[in-house]
Each structure stands twice: as C-alpha cells, then as structure tokens.
C-alpha cells in the first residue's frame, strides 16, 4: 500500500505513491483543490496563453509551439506570460506542500499511472479547470519520457 502524495509543478504532475483508501470522492476533492491552486496561482497568465495551452491539449498539437506563437505575437505581453508561467511553477510548489499535508492520510494500492489517470479524469470533468487539466496532462506526458 502506498501513500498518495501530490506533487505539482508546471513541468510535471505526479499523484503518486498513494488506513484511508482513496475513493472517487477523494480524487474529486484532490482535483478540485489542484484546480483551485492553479487558478489562484495563474492569474498573471494572459487568457491568450491559457487558451493556447488548452486548445493545444484539445487538438493534440505541440504545446511548446502553441506557447511560442503566443509569446511571439506580442513580445511585451509574451515576456509577462513567460514570467507568470515561471511564477506559477514556484507557487505550485508551495501549494503542493499544503495539498500533501491535507491528503497525507489517503492511501491507494493503485499504480502511479492509474492515480494520474483518475486525477486527470476528475479534472477534465470540472468546469473552470481546463487550464489545470491541460498543464497536468502535459506534465503527465513529460513524466513518461
């Protein structure tokens, strides 16, 4: 049995390693908390950038190219977005620690891949969590490389 730990960052998303067995309600609650954290931490990112990331995930296109296109469209705005994306990563580390504490007593015997899949499915179903879903999905893909 593994402890369910929440590790978030802009480049990787891991819900791993996870007596309270995780239920669907736990995954729903974790997804909501992750979404709230990302939404709170990403206010400095322009809607254009968020929409490019969301659309890239939906289309299955290269997210880095989509982000670069937004950055190049307006260099000043692009630099602000790049800075805000870096800040998102930093803020997410702090938020991750809080979520780890909150879900410290939730366990699962499921594989890391299954845990990530359940969290992603819960995020995908939540209104207002499209950006969180897109970056978490991107992070999950990066983990598999």
As a whole number, mean pLDDT of residues 54-77 equals 92
Q: Convert 9-73 into a string of H (helix), E (strand) and C (coil).
A: CCCCEEEECCCEECCHHHHHHHHHHHHHHHHHHCCCCCHHHHHHHHHHHHHCCCHHHHHHHHHHH
Q: What is the pTM of this model?
A: 0.81
Q: Within 13 A of 95's CA, how many CA atoms are on the CB side?
A: 22
The more confident residue out of 43 and 101 is 43
By C-alpha distance, which of 80, 44, 74, 49 is closest to 63?
49
**CA–CA gap between residue 132 and residue 92 (Å, rounded):** 11
Question: What pLDDT does 74 receive?
Answer: 92
Question: What pLDDT does 145 receive?
Answer: 67
Using DSSP bridges, classify how beta strands 20-21 and 13-16 pair: parallel, antiparallel or unpaired: unpaired
Question: What pLDDT does 53 receive?
Answer: 94
Res. 14: pLDDT tops 90 = no
The more confident residue out of 22 and 70 is 70
Q: Is 60 left (phi over 0), alpha (psi -120 to 50) or beta?
A: left
Residue 89: in which H helix or E strand, if any? helix 75-102
Question: What pLDDT does 141 receive?
Answer: 79
Q: What is the DSSP letter of 74?
A: S
End-to-end CA distance of the chain: 26
């Amino acid at each position: 049995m593994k402890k369910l730990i929440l590790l978030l960052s802009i480049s990787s998303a891991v819900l791993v390693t996870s007596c309270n067995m995780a239920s669907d309600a736990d995954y729903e609650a974790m997804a909501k908390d992750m979404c709230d954290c990302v939404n709170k931490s990403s206010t400095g990112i322009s809607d254009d950038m968020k929409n490019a990331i969301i659309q890239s995930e939906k289309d299955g296109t290269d997210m880095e190219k989509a982000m670069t296109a937004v950055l190049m469209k307006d260099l000043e705005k692009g630099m602000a977005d790049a800075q805000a994306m870096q800040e998102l990563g930093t803020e997410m580390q702090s938020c991750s620690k809080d979520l780890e504490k909150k879900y410290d007593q939730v366990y699962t015997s499921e594989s890391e891949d299954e845990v990530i899949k359940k969290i992603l499915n819960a995020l995908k179903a939540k209104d207002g969590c499209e950006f969180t879903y897109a970056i978490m999905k991107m992070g999950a893909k990066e983990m598999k490389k």
